[in-house]
Amino acid sequence: MLSFGMSQIRQLVAVMFTDIVGYTSLMGKDEKRAFDLLRKNREIQKPIIEAFGGQWIKELGDGVLASFPAVSNAVYAAIKIQEACEAAKDFKLRIGIHQGEVVFENGDIFGDAVNIASRLQSLCTPGGIYISAFAHYNIANKNDIRSAFVGHEQLKNVKEPVSVYRILSTDDAGQSLSEKNEVFSSILPGYKHDIYISYRMNDNKHDGWVAEFASRLERELSATLKDKVSIWFDKNPEDIRPVFQADAENNPQAISSLIFIPIISQTYCDAASPVWKKEFKGFLEATRQDTVGPVVKLQNGNTASRVIPVKIHDIEWNDIRLLESELSGAMRSIDFIYHADGVNRPLRQIDDDKAGDPMRPLYRNQINKLANAIKDIINGIKAKETVRTAETVFEEPVARQIVPNVFATSVSASIKVQVIDRQRPNIYLAWTSNDLKESREEMAIILTKAGFNVLPSIDCPADDKTFKQKADEEMQKCVCSLHMLSGEFGRRFESDEEVSFPQYQFMQAKKNVELKGNGFNVFVWQDPNSSRSIKPAQQNFIKYIRNNITRNMMFSNSQGPMQLVDDIRVVMMKQDATVYDSKDTEIFFIFNQQDEQEALQIIDKLSLEFPIETMNILPDGEDAYREISTQQIPKSKLAVVYFKYAADWALPFIKQIWKQVGGASSPTPMFLVGEDDPRTNLARNFRAPKVISLIVPKESIPTEVKKVYSTL
């Protein structure tokens, strides 16, 4: 305790602020009754505050400010005060409690703690008690005080958001989730709960992470599913949880739930712990005996385990192997991990507001992913129950008639029809280094929405042999692969530390290109956020990829996943295309009708020295011209896109064509050349592998084309 002069003392205390609900309105209607309530409020609160060792500081209108030496004293007093008010039935109170350092001076107190307690009181529901995270830390282990996470609130005149909890009374409508679930039944008859959250006590003890997670998940599910979903979350210590009083392995009904969510921490995978033996293994045994089974067929045709691991720490490989041995396959988790150098802790809602690594996942996104995964499983279970006795109907494939789309063109009138398979293609989305796991999950969602079937659909296996087997099996089902790279080399094989899991998958994809020819495409994307720090082994790997790009391979420079997927769709999902009798030539010169007069003058000069094919883009039929270009460019040594007044056409056109002919792996370089008049053209350029971009005077263009051609 620090003293400042005779009357000023600085001290750490619990501050309680109370307020009568609706008092201002009552004062305007019935002044006498309002003063009676103030008297009754004083008569109720003052003896209770003093009985719990508190100090009555002062009244502020209809509010009361008090301090306590300990948070538990303040909370016990607040509960008694609310019980007394409920019994009196004259008025309701809002109560806010915060622990912090204050200054006592002349019988009053000052400091941020007073402001925060006051703000918590104003947020509180009538008849309720709200406390801050600082206060909650001190009562988290009190078995006779129950609480529930409310949310992170930005309080007035407080810099950082404050985590808010509410204190639950025994008959409070806001009971703990486990108590509420005794009232609610499962959406499927024969089960006690829809979701069971399993965790080690220490993962909730200090900061209430699991309690906050359970509350957030409940909110997200209420906005995701039409059904009322029940969640079992037991706040009791492990040794007194009801499930541990029963023999869960011999009595599977002790874990009677549709979905099981284990909170995978650094201590969860302990075969000797009661949580592992009674909850985790108990649920797995229950799924082997019930009608639903351990695995659910989803409505999109995929399958999912009824166990959804939520990882809050990066765990050791031995722990992953233990999990996979019990789950009889690779684990597919949803991760809530805060990734930073030397840090391995749970991701929290408050982290979303911090500036930092753009590759770090957002808490709100992970909660949403989990809610969507639960929705898919529940819908799959409901569909199975609905059609359990129905027979599966198989449809015979029907041949589709291809009708040629004929249009006028300035290149050639001789056309044929090329039939391209437009079914949903399977894409192999390679397992990544650990730092890109969340990015891979987001990429899988985007690819699925874009019309692809994404494989593999499980987390990366921990065992070397299983990994190779799964990677090879899944890749054989696909027509293309996507490899996402960061600055990390990725997990290395135990049998060969020079090779990483991501590297192995790329090499297998490269073999597929060599064996299948045009039947397989490989796309490589280096995350733009990872280029700042690249490990030496990864630098060598990326260099190897760039030096070995061949046909049907593309190293993409896309700035984001949406643009990347659009590039992949361009290559893999072409519409039924008209095939033109394109010719082998030296230069393919493309221009827009707006620039026809200037372009013809340039073409006349070039044609004196080179065989040249030209294409004049007319106002309509631009899609057709793109198709003509993609067929003619590979048969040309150089493709030139020229513009003067048509810059708004030229840039989008060359970007699209560059993607369609293979991007960095295109056999034909492209030259985007524009005139320096008008001056606005000086800002028009496109930089990409195999593309040269230049703005020069008109008279210099033939010379520049010759220079570029001479370097080929």
Query: Which of 523, 550, 572 is a domain's end point?
Result: 572
- Secondary structure class of 257 (helix, strand, coil): strand
CATH code, domain carrying 602: 3.40.50.2300
Is pLDDT of 47 > 80? yes
- Total domains, the chain: 4
Lowest mean pLDDT among 77-91, 648-662, 697-711: 648-662
486, part of any domain:
yes
Kindly report whether the peptide bond that precedes residue 678 is cis, defined as omega within 30 degrees of 0: yes
Judging by DSSP bridges, how do beta strands 426-429 and 480-485 pair with one another? Answer: parallel
* pLDDT higher than threshold 90 for residue 262: yes
The verdict on 475 and 352 lying in the same domain is no
- Per the structure, the complete domain to which residue 77 belongs is given by 2-168
489 and 470 part of one domain: yes
Same domain, 519 and 611: no
Q: Could you say which of 168, 187, 205 is where a domain stops?
A: 168
pLDDT tops 90 at residue 630? no
Q: Answer whether residue 367 shows pLDDT above 90.
A: yes
| pLDDT for 358 | 64
What are 561's two structure tokens? 């996943």
217-228 residue pLDDT tens: 988 998 898 888
Mean pLDDT of 372-384: 89
Please give the angle made by the CA atoms of 391, 372 and 162, to the nearest 5 degrees: 160
**pLDDT score of 586:** 92
- Give the best-scoring range by mean pLDDT among 323-332, 442-451, 538-547, 567-576: 538-547
Please tell me whether residues 182 and 154 are part of one structural domain.
no
In a domain, 277, yes or no: yes
Residues 30 and 89 placed together within one structural domain of the fold:
yes
**pLDDT at 431 (0 to 100):** 93
Neighbours of 268 (CB within 10 A): 24
pLDDT of residue 26: 75
Cα dihedral 601, 607, 610, 612, rounded to 10, equals: 90
Torsion angle in degrees (nearest 10) through CA of 64, 69, 71, 75: -50
d(CA 162, CA 153): 5
Return all residues near 552 (Cβ < 8 A) that are at least 6 apart.
513, 517, 518, 520, 521, 522, 662, 665
Beta strands per DSSP E along 106-210 = 108-110, 129-132, 146-153, 162-168, 193-198
**194 and 283 assigned to the same domain:** yes
Sign, CA torsion 63/69/74/77:
negative
Cα–Cα–Cα angle for 574, 547, 541, rounded to 5 degrees: 100
Nearest to 523 by CA among 471, 478, 477, 474: 478
Looking at 361, 386, 411, the residue that finishes a domain is: 386
CB atoms within 10 A of CB 546: 13
Asked whether residue 406 carries a pLDDT value surpassing 70, the answer given is: no
* Average pLDDT for the chain: 82
Q: Residue 357: its pLDDT value, please?
A: 65
Instruction: Say yes or no to pLDDT of 249 above 60.
Output: no
pLDDT at 704 over 50: yes
Report which of residues 116 and 157 the model is more confident about.
Answer: 116
Which CATH number characterizes residue 69's domain? 3.30.70.1230
Residue 413 has a pLDDT of 35
Q: How far apart are CA 345 and CA 363, in angstroms?
A: 13
CATH of the domain at 248: 3.40.50.10140
Q: Per the domain annotation, does 234 fall within a domain? A: yes
What are the phi and psi torsion angles at 621 (to 5°)?
Answer: 75, 30
* Residues paired with residue 617 on neighbouring β-strands, in sequence order: 592
pLDDT at 417: 33
Given 3-state DSSP classes, what are the helix, strand and coil percentages for the chain, each rounded to the nearest 5?
Answer: 40, 25, 35
With respect to residue 416, please indicate whether it lies within any of the assigned structural domains: no
- Using the predicted structure, report yes or no on whether residue 64 has a pLDDT greater than 70: yes
Whole-number Å distance between alpha carbons of 178 and 233? 5
Cβ-count burial of 251 within 10 angstroms (0-12 exposed, 13-18 middle, 19+ buried)?
middle
Gap between the Cα atoms of 235 and 176, Å rounded:
8
Residues 566 and 594 in one domain: no
Note the pLDDT tens digit of each residue in 123-139.
888 889 999 988 988 88
- The pTM is what? 0.52
**Nearest alpha-carbon partner for 225 in 348, 368, 349:** 368
User: Which position has the higher pLDDT, 237 or 49?
Assistant: 49
How would you class 144 by CB atoms within 10 Å of its CB: exposed for 0-12, middle for 13-18, buried for 19 or more?
Answer: exposed
- Measuring CA to CA, which residue among 202, 186, 309 is closest to residue 257? 186
What does the pLDDT average to over 291-295? 87
- The reply to whether 485 falls in a domain is yes
pLDDT tens string 544-565:
998 888 888 888 877 788 888 8
Q: Which tokens hold the place of 601?
A: 């003058």
Q: Check whether residue 127 and residue 223 sit in a common domain.
A: no
The single-letter code of the amino acid at 414 is S
Alpha-carbon Rg for the chain in angstroms: 34
Q: Which two tokens stand for residue 299?
A: 């409505």
